[in-house]
Structure 1
Amino acid sequence: MLTFFNQFPQRVSDVTTELTTQGVPLTAPAAPAPPLDPDDPWASSRPAPPVNRTTLAWCTAAQMLSAHHRTPLSTQALSADALIRELGVRGLAQLHTDLHDGAPIDYRFTRCPYCSGCGEEPLLPDCADVGCPPQYEFIDHDHICPVCRGENFQPEWFGEERITQLDHLVDAPAPGRTARLSRLRKKILRLTRR
């Protein structure tokens, strides 16, 4: 039986199956340490850690890049490695924005690529995994999605709510604009009657 939370292991399974059929290893090798720069004493001299390509975040990044560029997953493996290595899960929000030409994304109207719009962390971690304070241990609280920050994807409800807000703005005009608004309303009424 396919439930909402079963789709996340299925996503990982689909991506790892495709990677293994194309001969791509499921663990990216650690990047070599950068050479020491005497002019920059604060530069890191540690090698970048290896990337696990079987995590949900990596699989989501690879699918997003592959779908956007219309290329196979194997060609996007290094890009997904770099994204997860540098920014982690929160980098998916930046990637989503970048793929939309830098436009801000309202997750109430656009489905989150990581949690698919539920607003919760799709891996369903417990409080010990996330590191919640001890007082939250016995309270049933949600762990919000790190990408959409818990925005609830409900375009039908939020769309009606936004129209209601705009109607209130039109009904309550600013001082000095009443004559112009009444002419605008007359034009709108004439156009809607046709």
Structure 2
Amino acid sequence: MPTSTTVFDQFTRRTADVTAQLTALGIPLTAPAPPPADLDPTDPWASSYPVPVDRSSLAWCTAVTMLADHHHTGIDRQVLAADALLRELGVRGLAQLHSDLHAGAPVDYRFTRCPYCSGIGEDPTQPTCGEVGCAPWLEFAGHDHPCPVCHGDDYQPQWVAEEQMTELEERLADAIEEREERASLRYRLRAWLCRRTVRS
């Protein structure tokens, strides 16, 4: 009897594949803490608390996979870069990384599949309202938690492209009509100026 799979199984497979590779390479699943930074006496808010990085999290596995695929290297070459990204920017850093890998251009997730949620628009880790920090009155509303990378953009390139083509056609028609009106106005002005010149 075949077992049924859900869309969320792909996220489990992603983390399982990456953690299996890390284990085979002898790379620990928890990033070592960075050396403590020198405390700045002029900055009372400075903190030397190192943010732990879990290399078995979906966000980290996504980051290291994106980096390895982009640079055509093994994941072992991108471990430290993924550590730094997640330590500095967290899960939302994946959106910045995706933009950077596209030469700094903004990524439209209606056309480009989100690397974190794979286009479903929801947070693939299915967090609780308490973990996300939702308002208390929302906890019982059964609301979705949008993906922190694509912010719930609906990945439907065919539908969005058709909608944009219609909008572009309307704008083009408006521009042509406006150009014709301006050309007509220029012609009338030129004719009027020519008549005044001839009279005087």
Per the shorter chain, which TM-score range? 0.7 to 0.9
Task: Could you list the structure 1 runs, at least 4 aligned residues long, displaced by more than 6 angstroms after superposition.
Answer: none
Identity of aligned residues (%): 56
- Match of 1:139? 141
Of 16, 29, 34, 2:37 maps to 34
Of 64, 79, 84, 2:86 maps to 84
Render the CA deviation track for 1:51-86: whole Å, top value 9, x for unaligned. 110110000000000000111111110000000000
Q: CA deviation at 1:42?
A: 4.9
- Match of 1:22? 25
- Match of 1:184? none
Q: Find the residue that maps to 2:175 and give its secondary structure.
A: coil
- Match of 2:151? 149
Asked if the contact 1:66–1:76 (Cα under 8 Å) also holds between the matched residues in 2, the reply is yes
Q: CA deviation at 1:180?
A: 9.2
Asked if the contact 2:40–2:46 (Cα under 8 Å) also holds between the matched residues in 1, the reply is no
- Match of 2:12? 9
Q: How many Å separate the matches in 2 of 1:42 and 1:97?
A: 34
Q: How many Å separate the matches in 1 of 2:116 and 2:86?
A: 13
Query: 2:93 matched to 1:95?
Result: no
Q: TM-score, normalised by structure 1?
A: 0.86
Q: CA deviation at 1:133?
A: 1.4
Q: CA deviation at 1:177?
A: 0.3
Distance 1:176-1:127 versus aligned 2 partners, 3 A rule = closer
Asked if the contact 2:122–2:144 (Cα under 8 Å) also holds between the matched residues in 1, the reply is yes
Q: TM-score, normalised by structure 2?
A: 0.84
Q: What are the ranges of 5 or more consecutive residues in structure 1 without an aligned counterpart?
A: 182-194
- Match of 1:106? 108
Name the aligned partner's letter for residue 134 of structure 2: C
Distance 1:11-1:180 versus aligned 2 partners, 3 A rule = farther
Q: How many Å separate the matches in 2 of 1:74 and 1:57?
A: 16
Render the CA deviation track for 1:145-166: whole Å, top value 9, x for unaligned. 1101110110000000000101
Asked if the contact 2:39–2:48 (Cα under 8 Å) also holds between the matched residues in 1, the reply is no
Name the aligned partner's letter for residue 163 of structure 2: E
- Match of 1:192? none
Of 60, 70, 82, 1:58 maps to 60
Q: CA deviation at 1:136?
A: 1.2
Of 66, 69, 72, 1:70 maps to 72
Q: How many Å separate the matches in 2 of 1:45 and 1:141?
A: 35
* Higher-Rg member (1/2): 2
